[in-house]
Amino acid sequence: MKAAVLRELGQPLTIEARDLPSIGPGEVLIEVVACGVCHSDLHIAGGEWDLLKPITRLPLVPGHEVTGRVAAIGEGVDSLAVGDRVGVPWLHYTCGVCDYCLAGRETLCLRQQITGVTVDGGYAEYLKAPASHVARLPENLDFVEAAPMLCAALTVFNAFRKSGIRPGEKMAIYGIGGLGHLAVQLAREQGVEVIAVDVADEKLELARECGASHLINATTGQPGREIKKIGGGAHVVMVTAGSRRAYEMALRSLRRGGTLSIVGMAPEPVDLSTVAMVSGEYRIVASAVGTREELHEVLRLAGEGRLRCHSEVHQLDEINDLFGRMRAGGINGRAVLRIG
């Protein structure tokens, strides 16, 4: 099979011919049709995140927004059959028995495996996955449309829930990329007023199409000051941009008693004024992807047409060029590889 392989951190991927993965008991082999290209893939391949760098398996097939059809099932698998339309998310495996799994917080599982980080992912014609952690796709949802639901949409869905925002309140979203434009849709769906912040006008235009009421270009000044003028600031500020500067501006956009929702991962630490935190009684909530239950909910919303990813489609061979464009912020929405 054909696969895009990371042989060394910080180096371009190489397109290689590889053997098909062999499946064991409880596993399924999936013929990949599409795989979303997440910004995380770029940072993982670059070895830019301290916590993930030591656990990144090499050589590695990246990709954790995988959709396709079940091609073979391992011994003991009775929940899936050959031909089923499925998706494989970031959370590849969780143990089900640690304190976190038992408490319904499997994203924190101590024995988790991560698709496209600790095990091979979807930048390939086939991958294998445990049947227990494979999601079924709604019948009417196309493979390319479904792919970004597996990380981008799931991540903002979880963050949105954890933020505690209520209908009628204001949410500022910093970074209108793959995650951000889906966050705008979720917020509108829940009756939340959205303030979109980005440095690119075309991304702000996408936010407007998704239902944002206020658009702020962060390059033109101080977005915090402008957001404060909209009814005293945002109840929740969600940052999907992996940028330290975005976080610093975000903290200045909060209404007193507001919540900072951490989604985007900046490679460098962010300065925080404890004086400002205390005087504003701010809350900080971070969230990582989502559980299987949340994924089920996200796929249902997408199947009902209530959540739609703006995406551009590419071939597997284009991956290094795509990484280059993503680094420069040149993708509006999500890039998805069509593989099968």
- The one segment of 89-97, 226-234, 254-262, 290-298 that binds Zn ion by CB under 5 A: 89-97
The amino acid occupying position 297 is E
Number of residues that bind Zn ion (CB under 5 A): 8
Q: Report the residue number, 1 or 95, with the smaller CB distance to Zn ion.
A: 95
Q: Is residue 272 a contact point for Zn ion (CB under 5 A)?
A: no
Q: Report the residue number, 35 or 86, with the smaller CB distance to Zn ion.
A: 35
Q: Is residue 42 a contact point for Zn ion (CB under 5 A)?
A: no
Distance between CA atoms of 176 and 239, rounded to whole angstroms?
A: 9
Q: Report the residue number, 256 or 296, with the smaller CB distance to Zn ion.
A: 296
Q: Is residue 151 a contact point for Zn ion (CB under 5 A)?
A: yes
Q: Is residue 207 a contact point for Zn ion (CB under 5 A)?
A: no
**What would the two tokens of residue 236 be?**
């929740």
Q: Is residue 156 a contact point for Zn ion (CB under 5 A)?
A: no
Query: Shortest Cβ distance from residue 151 to Zn ion (Å)?
Result: 3
- The one segment of 54-62, 134-142, 145-153, 174-182 that binds Zn ion by CB under 5 A: 145-153
Residue 46 backbone dihedrals phi, psi, to 5 degrees? -85, -5
Q: Report the residue number, 166 or 327, with the smaller CB distance to Zn ion.
A: 327
Selected from 27, 29, 35, 40, the binder of Zn ion by CB under 5 A is 40
- The one segment of 32-40, 251-259, 280-288, 312-320 that binds Zn ion by CB under 5 A: 32-40
Residue 116: which of 108, 128, 131 has the closest Cα?
Answer: 128
Query: Shortest Cβ distance from residue 276 to Zn ion (Å)?
Result: 31
Q: Which residues contact 228 (CB under 8 A, 6 or more apart)?
A: 252, 253, 255
Q: Report the residue number, 83 or 104, with the smaller CB distance to Zn ion.
A: 104
Beta carbons of 196 and 175 less than 8 angstroms apart: no
Beta carbons of 26 and 18 less than 8 angstroms apart: no
User: What would the DSSP string read from start to end of 160-199?
Assistant: HHHHT--TT-EEEEE--SHHHHHHHHHHHHTT-EEEEEES
Residue 176: which of 148, 227, 210 has the closest Cα?
Answer: 210
Q: How far is CA 48 from CA 41, 44, 169, 203, 260, in A?
A: 10, 6, 35, 25, 24
Q: Is residue 95 a contact point for Zn ion (CB under 5 A)?
A: yes
Selected from 109, 135, 173, 298, the binder of Zn ion by CB under 5 A is 109
Q: Is residue 38 a contact point for Zn ion (CB under 5 A)?
A: yes
Q: Is residue 101 a contact point for Zn ion (CB under 5 A)?
A: yes
Q: Report the residue number, 178 or 224, with the smaller CB distance to Zn ion.
A: 178
User: What would the DSSP string read from start to end of 132-144?
Assistant: GGPEEPPTTS-HH
Residues that bind Zn ion (CB under 5 A): 38, 40, 94-95, 98, 101, 109, 151
